[in-house]
Amino acid sequence: MKPLLSVVVPVHNVEDYLGACLRSLAGQTSDAIEVVLVDDGSTDGSGRIAEEFAARDSRFRCVHQPNAGLSAARNTGVRHTTPGVPYLAFADSDDIVVHDAYERMLASLESTGSDLVTGNVWRLDERGRQQAWQYRWLTGSRPRTHITRDPRLLADRVAWNKVFRRSFWDRHAFAFPEGRLYEDTPVMIPAHHLAGSVDVLHEHVYYWRVREGSITRRRTDVKGVRDRIAACEQVSAFLAGRDAAQRRAYDTSCLRDDFVYFMEGLPRGGAAYRAAFLADAGAFLDRTGDGVLAGLPVELRVKWRLVRERRMDELLAVLAFERTNGAGTFAVAGLPGRRRAAYPGVDGAGGRLSRTDLPAVARLLDASWGADGKLRLRGYAYIRNLAAGAARHSLKAGMVRAAGGRRLRTVPVRTVRMPGATADSAQELHCYDHSGFEMVLDPHRLGSGSWLVGIVVAGHGTARRVAVRAVDAAAAHPLVHDLGEGRRAVLGYRDGRLRLTVSQLPALAEAHDGGSGSGSNEDSGGVVEVTGRLYGDARPTALLLTRDGAGARGAQGAAGAQDTAGVQRTAEAEWSCPVVCGDDGRVAVFSARIPLAELAAVPPAPRPAPREVEPESGARWRARLLMADGSRVPLAAAPDLPPPVLADAAGELVLDVSGQPFVDGAEWTPDGALRITGTGAGTGAGTGAGTGAGMGAGTGAGMGAGAAEAGTRTGAGTEAEPGTGDATTTHDALTLRHETLRETVAVPLERQAGRFTARLPGSLPEGRWDLYLGAAPVRLLASLATRLPTRRSEAEPALERRHGDRLTVHAGPALAPAERGAYRQRLLRTTHYEDRRTLPLRDAVLYAGGDSPRAVHTELVRRGTDTEHLYVTGTAPGRTAHIPPAALPVLDRSADWYEALARARRIVTDGHLPAWFERRPGQTVVQTWHGTPLGRFGTGLTGTLYADHHHLATLPQRSSQWSVLVSPSRFATPLLRGSLAYGGEVLEAGSPANDLLFSPDRDKTAERVRRGLGIPEGHRVVLYAPTYRDHLAHPPSALPAHSPCLYRWDPALDPHALARSLGDGHTVLVRRHPRVTGSVPEAPGVRDVSGHPDTAELLLIADVLVTDYAGLMFDFAHTGRPMLFHTYDLEHYRDTVRGFCLDFETRAPGPLLVTTDEVAQALRDTGALTARHSDAYESFRRDYCDLDDGGAAGRVADRLLADRG
């Protein structure tokens, strides 16, 4: 078949992702394509993967060239396409094309004759998919449009979500600019302008994989910022001769979007980066003048004026302020009508505030229906940056308006105190405690129709009217209430705005018999009879069932075939079941019989998606009524219907044949646990078809459930194929998975008579925890959904409803309400801490950190030192398993923590104290640091990509807080001094954390630890303990407040494959770095010991250590046991990321290995390895581990007690 479309794919060092990309192209529903792969000098296995794929599929061919960059590779690919192919597209080799994208895009171009078509984009990362922010405006398709008629297309600047008419491409001789980054914009914006017309598809066509380590994500790269600004200047010059208004709009968009990313990198960037940004961005502003700033929000106007005036220090001050308060927060100076924004440390750059610079915010927190049939709303509303610290500054009135109408109705509102609004605002300047509101809506008085809900808020001489919205997209779910006699009220959202819809139902499904046979969802051998009431003159003729996710095909039989139950089915999986209408003597009723088994047997249509995306349900069918006039209307359902026929989140009837878990009950037990009960725990919890439904386009994110189990990285770093799972797997536990950090907690299940019960923990670390049974998300019945959220107290987790009908456990901050949020933290810092500094010092030791502070504490307790021991914990009281028994827990950032910093006579820490901390006369601060460094850190990172130069600038001040720095070795002493910018006293004591390795009782301790971890007698213990990777840092938005930087767990070594390779007699212990989050699935021979409180105990029981560049190697060297180094990314880590403090390749006390197989092979013969590396091992211990002898904690304790104040 002659191809209709040529797809060019540049390939460079993407072996982890290339297979998925190529499979997405090979699986396109339009198979009339050719794919030109251009291997751009790959040094990994990418070229081999491309060649192998081309050998299997004749539509693919591979071209190799020396590395010349993305643009050159794309241009090479275009030259190698087949002449005469009418259409052209591009795809990046780490991304994924939606399975039917090209079919839809080609059909559009064939229909309209446009020169190019562009489509919507998913953003893809390890957490799943989210709507790409650049395309949030794309809510409807627009054929034959143009950028001059729709300026929002200025945001459409990438090549890979488009198909071009090849004659159009050639006519304008388009080519990507070679030798620089951000090559798409200089081609795509001109293409939009030169096109006769453009088709815009609102449905998604592309998965854009966002990797923090990818070259375009390096926001402090000098070449990156210069190339981006140069690309924008090139486009601006192109527009200069065409349309002045378009050029001005484009220039403004650069200041709103393109350059902001690089501006935000200024605090982290070094001097060269800052100079490059200021020069090039300043030149851009010099050319454009003030006109481009007029349409920007005030926070951008302020910053760009500082750039134009080359005021870097003040710009950095504004960015530092925003780091704490977020963009858009500022002080307001002046009287109404003459107000201006004010930033600390910045003079004369704010300018006048416009009306849009002081927007109102209104969020709904709770909604509930009362017994009187009225709707009660509770939330908060305020004008941003105008304080609502008193009721007189927050006057409110509720407003409702019929959709499409103009007339407003006022609704009384009661202002209530709501400190949570201040905490949620994530800023420290303004108090919004009196922004809370309570509003009551009476649907009987409003009458039928859709009613938009808003609020007017006034204060400080300013009033704003604003729509009420959900706290976030996941909370924007409907709330259904039946008013009686077929009238229903639904509180929901459209375009993000809250609306109440009151309507008359034609019918309501009220009951079903559960299916003949066993009556269980696990036995789908029967027929379910659904019965309900009819209202008015509605007389349906059929019940239509359509599979969710559309496109599924019928089971067997030709289209239009009829089975013995009278059910008509079509080839597109729409089933028509006869409806029997009648009269029970009082009201009109209906019934319909649904063939459960036949629906369960219908296979889902193939809908390929990345493994990070939770699979869509292939086992949920949506019901509609076919009316006598041929119209189709949704069938409403009673909220208490049990599976398999039940009400969905919107109150409409669905049939679920997956057997996935549904929770229908929740209650607090007398001992403080939260008990949930439900059905479906025995089946349907595998992966693949028949598991939980995906979140779909309307929910904002797929959680990627089961991705780690179904598609993992092998030891060679390549992608494994997803598994299909077992749809009838029985699981013994629910899994709670942290929404952003991916930590997991297992909760045992109890089963009885087809139901399950689980007791959720009464305390969890802060955040939202999604519930899964295997890979299937736990959902909730509509009858329970109306009673959520449920929380017994501020200190305990709450059950919440998210993403429609997902069940989530929300663990709030461990801090007391009076301590939460940036605003109250500022008060604690500036008032409480300062007040306590005026009081006498307490004879107390405050410990902050892990192994070494704990060892010093143990030594002081052993001596019987008469002092109070306080230990900082990041978890709430009651969650203090790692706190030594002789110490009192002090919750981080609590009022007690501030007081302890102000008054404790002695402080022992292994990390930085807050920048605002000031050591008092008589206070002793001992810095033990956290081990001997291998990778460069602190000032040693100056000028590198991953350095945070804002933090580096604070090091001299931070290190001046210390009385003494403890060095673990003479090798480490100059490194710690220089890298931490420390000029004070150094105590070369060794590492207190390592004293246990020299203890006379170490063998007894090792035996106790082995028993406690359940390691079988005689098993050889392999400890796998890698360090973190800088490019895997979680974004700040994913972290709890005041959290240090955390990193994602993504090991290149596969511990499960390693355990299988080693076989019986081995136990692999996995210890994630303390700042790495994620989960290690338990499996035979593999144990996750990341939560073990004492690292030295793990070193004590390990027979061999497998690590990469972790400083743990210096500690383990004291055991004399073998070490293996999994250095798969050695060159990258050495030359690009951090580099080393010593010649690691020469001095490593063990072999440097690349793959899991190599590590396994080495572990089979560690005796030979020990002999081969004995000299290197001994010289390593001699040169880098010279001070440890078991007495380090004693020496630190002597120094600590020497200062008596």
77-93 pLDDT per residue, tens: 999 999 999 999 999 99
Average pLDDT, the chain: 89
Distance CA(42)–CA(54), nearest Å, equals: 16
Question: In the structure, what pLDDT confidence band is assigned to residue 284 with cuts at 50, 70 and 90?
Answer: very high
Distance CA(977)–CA(1141), nearest Å, equals: 13
The pLDDT of residue 673 is 83
The pLDDT of residue 812 is 87
Residue bearing tokens 């009316």: 627
The pLDDT of residue 347 is 84
Distance CA(532)–CA(653), nearest Å, equals: 11
CATH architecture of 662-694+729-811: Sandwich (2.60)
Q: Which two tokens stand for residue 155?
A: 């945001």
Please name every residue paired with 534 in a beta bridge, in sequence order, or none if there are none.
Answer: 507
Question: In the structure, what pLDDT confidence band is assigned to residue 75 with cuts at 50, 70 and 90?
Answer: very high
The third-level CATH classification (topology) of the domain covering 359-503 is: Immunoglobulin-like (2.60.40)
| Count of Cβ atoms closer than 10 Å to residue 1182 Cβ | 10
For 595-620, how does the pLDDT look when each residue is reduced to its tens digit (9 = 90+)? 988 888 888 766 677 877 776 655 78
Sequence-distant (≥ 6) Cβ neighbours of residue 829 within 8 angstroms: 898, 916
Question: In the structure, what pLDDT confidence band is assigned to residue 212 with cuts at 50, 70 and 90?
Answer: low
Run of H or E including 1005: helix 1002-1012
* DSSP labels, 572-596: TSEEEEEEEEEE-SSSEEEEEEEEH
Report strand pairing: 340-342 vs 744-752.
Answer: unpaired
Q: What is the largest CA-CA distance in the chain?
A: 97
Range of weakest confidence among 450-459, 460-469, 618-627, 971-980: 618-627
For 766-775, how does the pLDDT look when each residue is reduced to its tens digit (9 = 90+)? 899 999 998 8
The pLDDT of residue 586 is 87
Q: Which two tokens stand for residue 1177?
A: 């091992």
Tell me which residue of 313, 255, 318, 256 sits closest to 281, measured CA to CA.
255
Question: In the structure, what pLDDT confidence band is assigned to residue 714 with cuts at 50, 70 and 90?
Answer: very low
| Count of Cβ atoms closer than 10 Å to residue 780 Cβ | 27
* DSSP labels, 898-935: HHHHHHEEEEEESSPPPTT--PPTT-EEEE-TTS--SB
3-state secondary structure of 482: strand
Residue bearing tokens 């005689």: 1018
Please name every residue paired with 848 in a beta bridge, in sequence order, or none if there are none.
Answer: 909
Distance CA(1062)–CA(1068), nearest Å, equals: 9
Matching fold, domains 359-503 and 817-994:
no
3-state secondary structure of 1169: helix
The pLDDT of residue 616 is 61
| Residues belonging to the chain | 1205
The pLDDT of residue 715 is 32
Distance CA(138)–CA(115), nearest Å, equals: 19
Residue bearing tokens 């309507």: 503
CATH C-level class of 1015-1188: alpha beta
Q: Which residues of 1028-1056 are buried (b: 16+ CB within 10 A; e: fewer)?
A: bbbbbbbeeebbeeebeebbbbbbbbbbb
Question: In the structure, what pLDDT confidence band is assigned to residue 564 with cuts at 50, 70 and 90?
Answer: very low
Residues 650 and 576 sit within 8 Å (Cβ to Cβ):
no
Range of weakest confidence among 185-189, 425-429, 641-645, 717-721: 717-721
Q: Which residues of 264-302 are buried (b: 16+ CB within 10 A; e: fewer)?
A: bbbbbbbeebbebbbebbbebbeebeeebbeeeebbbbb
Tell me which residue of 870, 875, 677, 871 sits closest to 784, measured CA to CA.
677
Q: Average the pLDDT over 196-201 and give the result.
A: 98
* Helix pair angle (222-240, 271-288), 10° resolution: 10
Q: Which residues of 1057-1079 are buried (b: 16+ CB within 10 A; e: fewer)?
A: bbbbbbeeebbbbbbbbeebbbb
Does position 688 have pLDDT exceeding 50, yes or no?
no
The pLDDT of residue 571 is 40
The pLDDT of residue 785 is 87
Report strand pairing: 574-583 vs 588-595.
Answer: antiparallel
Residues 722 and 609 sit within 8 Å (Cβ to Cβ):
no
Cβ-based burial of 220 (10 A; exposed 0-12, middle 13-18, buried ≥19):
buried
Residue bearing tokens 């908060």: 380
Distance CA(460)–CA(1068), nearest Å, equals: 64
Q: Which amino acid is at 461?
A: G
Pick 877 or 636 by higher pLDDT: 636
Residue 203 CB-half CA count within 13 A: 11
Cβ-based burial of 405 (10 A; exposed 0-12, middle 13-18, buried ≥19):
exposed
Run of H or E including 79: helix 70-79
3-state secondary structure of 366: strand
HEC-encoded secondary structure of 274-285: HHHHHHHHHHHH
DSSP label of 755 = E
Residues 813 and 820 sit within 8 Å (Cβ to Cβ):
yes
Q: What is the pTM of this model?
A: 0.89
Cβ-based burial of 1102 (10 A; exposed 0-12, middle 13-18, buried ≥19):
buried
Q: Average the pLDDT over 29-56 and give the result.
A: 96
Residue bearing tokens 């066993």: 518
Q: Which CATH code of 3.40.50.720, 1.10.10.10, 3.30.1360.30, 3.90.550.10 fits the domain covering 5-217? A: 3.90.550.10
Domain layout of the chain by residue ranges? 5-217, 290-355, 359-503, 506-555+566-604+617-654, 662-694+729-811, 817-994, 1015-1188
3-state secondary structure of 103: helix
CATH architecture of 817-994: 3-Layer(aba) Sandwich (3.40)
Distance CA(786)–CA(301), nearest Å, equals: 45
For 1048-1073, how does the pLDDT look when each residue is reduced to its tens digit (9 = 90+)? 899 999 999 999 999 999 999 999 99
Torsion sign over Cα 979, 982, 988, 989:
negative
For 235-280, how does the pLDDT look when each residue is reduced to its tens digit (9 = 90+)? 999 999 888 899 999 999 999 999 999 999 999 999 999 999 999 9
DSSP label of 265 = T
For 516-562, how does the pLDDT look when each residue is reduced to its tens digit (9 = 90+)? 543 344 444 579 999 999 999 999 999 999 987 543 323 322 233 33
The pLDDT of residue 584 is 81
Residue 728 CB-half CA count within 13 A: 4
For 877-927, how does the pLDDT look when each residue is reduced to its tens digit (9 = 90+)? 344 457 899 999 999 999 999 999 999 999 999 999 999 999 999 999 999
Question: In the structure, what pLDDT confidence band is assigned to residue 415 with cuts at 50, 70 and 90?
Answer: very high
Q: How far is CA 320 from CA 267, 304, 601, 1035, 1036, in A?
A: 7, 15, 59, 17, 14
Q: Which two tokens stand for residue 445?
A: 């008085």
Q: Which two tokens stand for residue 251?
A: 């220039």
Q: Which two tokens stand for residue 241?
A: 């001769």
The pLDDT of residue 617 is 55
Pick 338 or 284 by higher pLDDT: 284
CA dihedral 175→180→181→182, nearest 10 degrees, is -40
Question: Percent helix, strand and coil across the chain, each rounded to 5?
Answer: 30, 30, 45
Q: Which two tokens stand for residue 940?
A: 């040693």
Helices and strands of the chain, counted as H and E runs: 33, 60
Q: Which two tokens stand for residue 125?
A: 């990362």
Residue bearing tokens 């957490």: 127
The pLDDT of residue 633 is 95
